[in-house]
Amino acid sequence: MTNAAEPPARPEPATMPEPAGPPARRRATRLIDIAAAAGVHVSTVSRVLNGDPALSIRPETYERVLSAARAQGYRPNALARALKQRRTGALALVVPLLRNPIWTRLQHGTLQQARERGYVVMIMEEPTEDPRPPGDYRYLVEESRVDGLLLATALRVPEHHALIKAIPHVYVNRRGPDPGNDVVMDEATAVQRFVDYLAGLGHERIALIDGPAEVDTVHRRVAAARRFCAARGISLSVRHAAATEEGGWDAGLRMLRLEPRPTACGVGSLNQLFGLTSALRSAGVDVPGGMSVVSFDEDECLAFLEVPVTSVCMPLHDLGQAAVDALVARIEGQPAADVMIREPIRLLERDSVAAPSGGRPARPVPLPRRPGRRAAG
């Protein structure tokens, strides 16, 4: 197919009509091509281009090589290099592809830092339904497609110890089964900001609506909330639900039936927040008059809602960056060490929080119909 012999020189017209057939892809220029052009050996070219410090070369030759490379628009073949060096320069990021915008910020931080460290990132999807054990992504390393795994899968399943031990990996935004490979944010401090803020306003009954208890971040938030509330003598009710609008709606209704009803509530995700807000509205509960609301997901849209929602803003970009650093350290054989991102965690005050109103709610909670959709057109 590809013939080593030079085909007879056929001048390439500057503006030739696109040949319709299979695009005869031009073979990329190789080290050997520029070696020929510069009249030196390939190994010399390699050394020059990689800036081998142990190389002494006369400036003239050096220049000749460099300009030949530039002239031919040389690009090293990452495959061949990786094969030889036993490292690919690629990382895989495994995310649950949820609609939640926090993943965008995480991806952004990851991609940026990877580029900084000279890696490219391959993003893999974790099926949302029927999530697979993290070990199922081993093959990416085993096939030498990537040097390591950034596992941002959500579930905390204690089963698969050692499925993955042998290959470089880091758990992002969750704790994995093996210590020393976790990169997480300081959820406890986030919760503390939340509790302190509400306690300062005089709230004494707080609710926390969050995702399934098996999700590691949820687990840590709930644990921290129990601790801080207990310390302050505040009563805490936790409601778990799917991290969707419907989940938020359901959990919200369940919360409203509590006696006595909480005066403030935190929500674990943006999607749940929409459901919760909708439920409160349908139930005729005023925000923040009848219920103060705080989101643990920051997003720009919160400022534009009917009543702008106060949130705790987490350092997801930094999390992504730190995860890359930690993984690269693992790849380079440095000792394992967990990482916790502590800053910046800020409470963004908007209009959804107020001091608790004295009495009980004016009217009992009706059971409204959940919003649906009707197709047309």
Partner DNA sequence: CTGTTAGCGCTTTCAT
Partner DNA sequence: ATGAAAGCGCTAACAG
Size of the site for DNA (CB under 7 A): 30
Neighbouring residues of 175: CB distance < 8 A, sequence distance ≥ 6: 156, 182, 184, 216
- In the complex, the smallest distance separating the C-beta of residue 29 from DNA, rounded to whole angstroms, is 8
Between CA 261 and CA 240, with CA 214 as vertex, the angle to 5 degrees is 15
Q: Which range binds DNA by CB under 7 A, 76-84, 227-235, 250-258, 315-323?
A: 76-84
DSSP for 194-253, please give it: HHHHHHHHT--EEEEEES-TTBHHHHHHHHHHHHHHHHHT-EEEEEE--SSHHHHHHHHH
Complex with a second copy: residue 187 or 245, whichever CB lies closer? 245
Sign of CA dihedral 77, 83, 86, 89: positive
Give the count of residues interacting with a second copy (CB under 8 A).
83
Figure out which of the listed residues 47, 156, 221, 350 binds DNA, where binding follows CB under 7 A: 47
For DNA, which is the closer residue by CB, 90 or 316? 90
Helix (H, G, I), strand (E, B) or coil at 120: strand
Instruction: Work out which of 10, 25, 26, 27 binds DNA, going by CB under 7 A.
Output: 27
- Smaller CB distance to DNA: residue 66 or 347? 66
Considering only residues 140, 150, 314, 316, which one is a binding residue for a second copy as defined by CB under 8 A?
140
Choose which of 14, 51, 55, 342 interacts with DNA (CB under 7 A).
Answer: 55
**What's the closest the beta carbon of residue 350 comes to DNA, in angstroms?**
53
Tell me which residue of 245, 174, 187, 242 sits closest to 212, measured CA to CA: 242
Contact with a second copy (CB under 8 A): which of 34, 47, 48, 107? 107
175 binds a second copy (CB under 8 A): no
Q: What angle do the packed helices 31-38 and 42-49 form, to 10 degrees?
A: 100
Question: Is residue 40 involved in binding DNA (CB under 7 A)?
Answer: yes
**Structure tokens belonging to residue 189:** 């401090």
Residue 36 within binding range of DNA, rule CB under 7 A: no
Cβ neighbors of 154 (< 8 A, separation 6 or more) are: 96, 126, 131, 174, 211, 215, 216, 217
Question: What mask, x for binding a second copy by CB under 8 A, covers residues 245 to 264?
Answer: x---x---------------
Among 6, 14, 56, 344, binds DNA (CB under 7 A): 56
For residues 48 and 285, give the distance between their C-alpha atoms in angstroms, rounded to a whole number. Answer: 71
* 43 makes contact with DNA (CB under 7 A): yes
As measured in angstroms, the least distance from the Cβ of 282 to DNA is 60
Contacted entry of a second copy, DNA, none for residue 365, CB cut-off 5 to 8 Å set by kind: none
CB 28 within 8 A of CB 75: yes
Contact 185, 315 (CB under 8 A): yes
Q: CA–CA distance from 216 to each of 85, 173, 242, 311 (Å)?
A: 37, 8, 14, 20
Report the residue number, 109 or 356, with the smaller CB distance to a second copy.
Answer: 109
Angle at 327 between CA 324 and CA 330, to 5 degrees: 155
Per CB under 7 A, 66 contacts DNA: no
| 206 CB burial (10 A radius; 0-12, 13-18, 19+) | buried
Task: Report how far residue 67's alpha carbon sits from residue 52's, in angstroms, rounded to the nearest whole number.
Answer: 17
Minimum distance of a second copy from residue 78's CB (angstroms) = 4
Distance CA 122, CA 139 (A): 13
Segment lying near a second copy (by CB under 8 A), choices 43-51, 58-66, 114-122, 227-235: 114-122
Indicate whether 116 belongs to the interface with a second copy (CB under 8 A). Answer: no
Pick the piece of the chain touching a second copy (CB under 8 A) from 160-168, 233-241, 253-261, 357-365: 160-168
111 contact, one of a second copy, DNA, none, CB 5-8 Å limit per kind: a second copy
Judged by CB under 7 A, the residue of 61, 72, 237, 357 near DNA is: 61
The yes or no reply on residue 118 touching a second copy (CB under 8 A) is no
In whole angstroms, what is the distance from residue 207 CA to residue 256 CA?
Answer: 10
**The two three-digit tokens of residue 23, written as one number:** 């695009």
Residue ranges in contact with DNA by CB under 7 A: 4, 27-28, 30-32, 39-44, 46-47, 49-50, 55-58, 61-62, 76-77, 80-81, 83-86
